[in-house]
Amino acid sequence: MTDTVDDQPVTVGEVLREAVGALSGLPDGSPRLEAELLLAEVTGWPRTRLIAWPDRPLDPVALAAFRSLLARRRSGEPLAYLRGRQAFWTLELRVTPDTLIPRPETELLVEIGLAEAGAGARRRVADLGTGSGAIAAAIATERPQWLIIAVERSAAALAVARANFNTLGLSNCLAVRGDWLAAFGSRSLDLILANPPYVPSGDPHLSRGGLPFEPLEALAAGPEGLDAIAAIGREAGRCLRPGGLLALEHGFDQGPAVRRLLGELGLRGPHSRRDLAGQERVTLARAD
């Protein structure tokens, strides 16, 4: 990509065409959309303006910034980290490489939590391994009368969650640094939600696509990917009030193992729900 074409400034349309070509080799990418989003990021212009004014010239500063972002994206760095934010539920959340990028399939966990716990006047909910605070923020937005306690081991990730809660004005979200359910008292929770690490530690997918850019401790959990799920399951029966619900996200092929594990740990009626792709994605169980 050159700064000028025939001694004329490079235009929006020219930059986008070249960027689309540069991004076309990325797996599961959307080259045109990503090029527009990155250019909007450096110019501060909405995408509609980029589309409507393709002949508008780019100044050298914006062009240099765009080139830098484009090179990082071509190396596999996720778009969400380049932009510093990601849409989830009805929200836009700040994300950094200290947090996982919220994914659409995790919205199933939010839907289940809202539906299964009902809309009672007061519920006490734990979001374990909150990361960017996505699950907690979505629940808190829909149920302002509930108290959501967002737990995270990483201080850096917890700072991102706190920033998101503050930006969204969610006074019913409490961000706490801790290790799963260790800080909770007996029979203190109505609902436990978690998207814990569940990828087997030797899974080759950890070195592919954008996953190498995300925090490994939030992705992998032991040789079968079940270590974090087991740790949560062991304490859930103690922390949940009678009839309280545990809902855990897991890998598409882990449903049978998670149901068996939760049943062995004394939780009642473990069963799994499927995501929009038809894959078992969340397993639920209740405390006696």
Sequential DSSP letters for 71-111: HHHHTT--HHHHHTEEEETTEEEE--TTSPPP-GGGHHHHH
Residue 57: give the domain boundaries.
Answer: 4-75
> How many whole angstroms separate alpha carbon 211 and alpha carbon 51?
31
* The pLDDT value given to residue 9: 73
**Whole-number pLDDT of residue 28:** 77
In a domain, 168, yes or no: yes
pLDDT tens digits, 160-211: 999 999 999 999 999 999 999 999 999 999 999 999 999 999 999 999 889 9
Predicted confidence at residue 1, as pLDDT, reads: 44
Residue at which a domain ends, from 75, 101, 127: 75
The domain that holds 171 is classified in CATH as: 3.40.50.150
Is residue 45 domain-resident? yes
Q: Are 283 and 262 in contact (CB under 8 A)?
A: yes
Supply the CATH number for residue 63's domain.
1.10.8.10
Cross-strand bridge partners of residue 194? 128, 248
Q: Is 28 left (phi over 0), alpha (psi -120 to 50) or beta?
A: left
Nearest-angstrom CA–CA distance, 219 and 249: 12
Q: How many CB atoms lie within 10 A of CB 207?
A: 8
pLDDT (0 to 100) of residue 207: 92
Residues 177 and 95 in one domain: yes
**43 and 109 assigned to the same domain:** no
As for how many domains the chain has, the answer is: 2
Domain boundary pick from 20, 46, 75: 75
Question: Which portions of the chain are predicted below pLDDT 50?
Answer: 1-6
Residues 107 and 185 in one domain: yes
Q: What is the pTM of this model?
A: 0.92
Closest CA to 197 of 163, 240, 153, 140: 153
Q: Is residue 145 domain-resident?
A: yes
Residue 33 domain-assigned (yes or no): yes
Which pLDDT belongs to residue 131? 98
